[in-house]
């Protein structure tokens, strides 16, 4: 691990200002992803700003009947909150499908949104990777790409976003609240938060330099049946090959976001018009522009079958 200096932030604005003005600075919250990457020297921050003491660990009701989840709320606390379990079940289910108990106890809401891909070529510092080392090339495209992206990919990168939580938040139309170095706040719709790789796969979100996530807000509950289906290589504690976050209504309408297939949670609102026709019609539209590799072409039928399973779960609940 490379050396770094360390400070505990005193306020959100001060943390954002410090992050912007200090070369090589990074925020640290749970640290479960960042420290892993620092040990491998994939991340080499020169200064760490600890944001754990800023009181961002509360879940509050909002005036319009939704929830405001502090950036530092741990994954376990969010999954176990009774309001989330009752009204946003897809979010509880997605969180509980991710990582291990120990990691969920430490990992935070904002950190989960910012976690890096698990593409094996991103992790192997002996391989070219445009995300880790911009301009070096992508070893994944002609490499072992079974776990990697099938849609929204580019010539530069076929990595996937590894988060389960973000897939549920995409289905729930969450918004990401931030503060910048001058104390200005803004709300970023989750649909606009994660970027597609394009030719700059190292830029993963629309956050500005130093901008700090303070909360994630959920709009008023939309009812329906909440389902999170995750398909992975073992029954627990593995990243998704494909996952489906669905909120389905009795009349057959609903919302479906898919994980494990793209650089961000994949949702196509127009395709949801086809949900009443069934999984085949919906999935064909959802993945109409897919460009899978030979290794991961199986994900196309797997998405359709996982959506079918989710629709079936909803009918039985």
Partner 1 sequence: MPKPVKLEVSRRRLLAAGTATAMAGVVPGAQAQPHPSRQKPSQRPTGVSFEVNGKPRSLQVDNRTTLLDALRENLSLTGTKKGCDHGQCGACTVIVNGVRINSCLTLAVMHEGDRITTIEGLGQPEQLHPMQAAFVKHDGYQCGYCTPGQICSAVAVLDEIKAGIPSHVSPDLTAPPELTNAELRERMSGNICRCGAYSNIAEAIAEVAGSST
Q: Which is nearer to partner 1, 42 or 150 (CB)?
A: 42
Phi, psi (degrees; rounded to nearest 5) at 175: -125, 145
Residue 277: CB minimum distance to partner 1, A: 29
Q: Provide the minimum distance between the beta carbon of 102 and partner 1 in the complex, in angstroms, as a whole number.
A: 5
Residues 214, 37, 43, CA angle at the centre, nearest 5°?
A: 75
Instruction: Give the DSSP H/E element, type plus range, for residue 218.
Output: strand 212-218
Q: Smallest gap, in angstroms, from Cβ of residue 230 to partner 1?
A: 8
Return the number of the residue (85 or 305) whose C-beta is nearest partner 1.
85
Coil, strand, or helix at residue 62?
Answer: coil
* Spatial separation of the C-alpha atoms in residues 189 and 175, rounded to whole Å: 4
Measured from the CB atom, the residue of 31 and 221 that comes closer to partner 1 is: 31
We find the least distance from the C-beta atom of residue 97 to partner 1, in angstroms, to be 5
The Cβ-side half-sphere exposure at 217, using a 13 Å CA radius, reads 15
Rounded to the nearest 5 degrees, what angle is found at the Cα of 32, between the Cα atoms of 26 and 34? 30
CA dihedral 151, 228, 103, 27 (to 10 degrees): 50
Can you count the helices (H) and strands (E) in the chain?
Answer: 11, 11
Q: How many CB atoms lie within 10 A of CB 146?
A: 15
Which is closer to partner 1, CB of 35 or CB of 196?
A: 35
CA distances from residue 109 to 25, 102, 165, 275, 299 in whole angstroms, order as listed: 20, 15, 8, 30, 27
Q: Which is nearer to partner 1, 34 or 268 (CB)?
A: 34
Which is closer to partner 1, CB of 155 or CB of 192? 155
Minimum CB–partner distance for residue 11 and partner 1 (Å): 18
Query: Whole-number minimum distance, CB 78 to partner 1, in Å?
Result: 11
Report the C-alpha gap between 254 and 309 in whole angstroms. Answer: 15
Closest separation between CB of residue 304 and partner 1, Å?
A: 23
Residues engaged in binding partner 1 (CB under 8 A): 1, 3-6, 8, 28, 31-32, 35-36, 39-40, 48, 50, 52, 76, 79-80, 82, 85-86, 89, 92-93, 96-97, 99-103, 105-106, 118, 120-121, 123-125, 127, 139, 142-144, 146-147, 235-239
Between 58 and 184, whose beta carbon lies closer to partner 1?
A: 58
């Amino acid at each position: 691990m490379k050396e770094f200096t360390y400070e505990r932030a005193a306020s959100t604005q001060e943390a954002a200002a410090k992050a912007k003005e200090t070369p090589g600075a990074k925020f640290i919250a749970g640290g479960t992803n960042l420290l892993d990457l620092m040990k491998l020297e994939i991340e080499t921050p020169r200064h760490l700003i600890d944001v754990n003491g800023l009181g961002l660990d509360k879940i509050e009701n909002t005036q319009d009947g939704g929830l405001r989840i502090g950036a530092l709320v741990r994954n376990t606390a969010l999954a176990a909150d009774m309001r989330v379990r009752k009204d946003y079940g897809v979010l509880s289910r997605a969180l509980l499908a991710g990582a291990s108990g120990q990691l969920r106890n430490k990992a935070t809401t904002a950190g989960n949104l910012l976690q890096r891909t698990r593409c094996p070529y991103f992790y192997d510092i002996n391989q070219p990777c445009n995300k880790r080392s911009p301009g070096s090339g992508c070893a994944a495209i002609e490499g072992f790409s079974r776990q990697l992206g099938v849609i929204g990919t580019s010539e530069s990168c076929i990595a996937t976003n590894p988060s389960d939580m973000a897939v549920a938040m995409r289905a729930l139309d969450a918004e990401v609240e931030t503060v910048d170095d001058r104390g200005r706040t803004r709300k970023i719709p989750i649909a606009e938060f994660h970027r597609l790789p394009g030719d700059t796969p190292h830029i993963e979100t629309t956050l500005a330099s130093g901008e700090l996530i303070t909360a994630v807000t959920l709009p008023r509950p939309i009812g329906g049946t909440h389902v999170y289906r995750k398909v992975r290589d073992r029954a627990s504690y593995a990243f998704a090959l494909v996952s489906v976050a669905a909120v389905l209504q009795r009349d057959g309408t609903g919302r479906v976001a898919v994980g494990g297939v793209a650089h961000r949670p994949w949702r196509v609102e127009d395709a949801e018009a086809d949900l009443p026709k069934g999984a085949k019609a919906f999935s064909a539209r959802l993945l109409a522009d897919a460009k899978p590799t030979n290794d991961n072409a199986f994900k196309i039928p797997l998405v359709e079958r996982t959506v079918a399973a989710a629709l079936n779960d909803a009918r039985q609940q």
